[in-house]
Structure 1
Amino acid sequence: MSARILLVEDDQLNRFALQKLLEKSGYAVIEAEDGQRALELLEQETVDCILMDVQLPVLNGVEATQTIRAHDGSRYNPEVPIIALTAYAMPGDREKFLDFGMNDYLAKPTTIEQLEVVLRKYVAAGA
């Protein structure tokens, strides 16, 4: 069975491109267009990892991450790996997102190679 990735990205073109790259690498992808939808999906779905954009409508990536991390586990898995996927790429941004509760960080635009290196830390495609 393929590892399940929740891809939270509001830009439809970015979401489509990332979905195809992830599927080509053997991952099963579930998509959400904002942080609120991601939380709704996590109530129904178990995922192995979350790729979380930071700038999202409705509920941003930081707020969604903090909601997941603060939870007791009855609705969301507070231990699920969350990787920031963001256009923020200034010095100190990585540390800021890790402090917000994310496990790792990728700056956009990212390559499939960079994505796979980070994902391998947390999940295996065939997991």
Structure 2
Amino acid sequence: MSSDIRPVDGAGDDPLPSNASPAHWQDCTVLVVDDHPAYRMMMSAMLQQLGLGCETCGDGQAALAALDGQPFDLILTDCQMPVMNGYALAREVRRRERESMAEPVPIVALTSNLGPNEVHQCLDAGINAWLIKPLTFGQLRNVLLYWLADGTPLVTDVPRTREEDWPTRARLVQLFGSAQVLDGMLASLVQEVRQDLQALSHAMAHVDADQTAQHLHRLIGSVAFLGGTPLEARGIQLISAVTRDGVALHARALFGLRQDLVRYVEYLKAL
């Protein structure tokens, strides 16, 4: 399967004017889940301004009851809430979808903090994307342009990187001359990559194309230092695509590559 990434509606152009919304959004409804009434009011106002229908809930249990009553096209949920938090809500939504063989609904987390632990919890719960509070109208719109697309794929699926394509310990010892040198190199590299992964998550959450491309460039440089892998080729494509089109149009490919980079770091740590 091809891993090429292609722009939509022309290279580098915003698919719509900054104050416009896709026509099909008038038929879409978003479920907002947040325990702060003021934030629910603000999110509802933003979504209505974008031409989207909206329903709000104060916790995960209330959200599940709302989902029992009607389908939603997307869920925006706070991560930390009483009664049932956003992670538990996402896990239960995904369990129900598997049980009923339903099409997965996109889930976007709203969080005030985004460290490695929060990223791991989001991915483990089946959350598709995240935004850091306080978010801007433009950030919300750009993310929704991706996750509420009209069905036309914006990014082709990327096959998961295979571990057999990664360097073996024997190969790296040969490359660096001794096991002692290799172990010191790997310890330093793993620490550096972890810091860059956290910075990449922050840039992606803020839909910051320049910072996303910059941290991805650093990560791919670290990967290439140990010899070429398919991760490097994917990263180079994404750096070009994000610089050209922005973060939102390539969110799914970015999240997939980030997950594989996390796996790669754990692999190197265990060598």
TM-score by length of 2: 0.43
How is 1:1-127 mapped onto 2 (pairs within 5 angstroms)? 1-71=26-96, 72-73=99-100, 77=102, 79-91=104-116, 93-124=118-149
Shift of 1:78: 6.2
The question of whether the paired residues in 2 share the 8 Å contact of 1:68 and 1:78 is answered with no
Deviations 1:26-69 (A, max 9, x none): 11001111000000000011100000111111111101110111
Separation in structure 2 between the aligned mates of residue 78 and residue 64 of structure 1, nearest angstrom: 17
Percent of aligned pairs with the same amino acid: 34
Structure 1 residues 91 and 63: alpha-carbon distance in aligned structure 2, compared to 1, 3 A threshold: closer
Secondary structure of the corresponding residue to residue 52 of structure 1: strand
Q: Which runs of 5+ in 2 are unaligned?
A: 1-25, 151-271
Separation in structure 1 between the aligned mates of residue 149 and residue 30 of structure 2, nearest angstrom: 11
Higher relative contact order (CA closer than 8 Å, sequence separation 6+): 1
The question of whether the paired residues in 1 share the 8 Å contact of 2:27 and 2:53 is answered with yes
Secondary structure of the corresponding residue to residue 80 of structure 2: coil
Structure with more strand by fraction: 1
Separation in structure 1 between the aligned mates of residue 100 and residue 109 of structure 2, nearest angstrom: 21
Query: Stretches of 4+ moved more than 6 A in 1?
Result: none
CA RMSD of aligned residues (A): 1.9
Deviations 1:57-91 (A, max 9, x none): 111110111011111138xx561110001112235
Shift of 1:104: 0.5
The question of whether the paired residues in 1 share the 8 Å contact of 2:32 and 2:54 is answered with yes
Structure with more helix by fraction: 2
Secondary structure of the corresponding residue to residue 63 of structure 1: helix
Separation in structure 2 between the aligned mates of residue 63 and residue 99 of structure 1, nearest angstrom: 10
Separation in structure 2 between the aligned mates of residue 8 and residue 110 of structure 1, nearest angstrom: 15
Larger radius of gyration: 2
Q: Which runs of 5+ in 1 are unaligned?
A: none
What's 2:196 paired with?
Answer: none
Structure 1 residues 79 and 106: alpha-carbon distance in aligned structure 2, compared to 1, 3 A threshold: same
The question of whether the paired residues in 1 share the 8 Å contact of 2:32 and 2:75 is answered with yes
Secondary structure of the corresponding residue to residue 55 of structure 1: coil
Secondary structure of the corresponding residue to residue 105 of structure 1: strand
Moved more, 36-45 or 90-99: 90-99
Q: How many residues align?
A: 123
The question of whether the paired residues in 2 share the 8 Å contact of 1:5 and 1:48 is answered with yes
Separation in structure 1 between the aligned mates of residue 103 and residue 93 of structure 2, nearest angstrom: 5
Structure 1 residues 60 and 92: alpha-carbon distance in aligned structure 2, compared to 1, 3 A threshold: closer
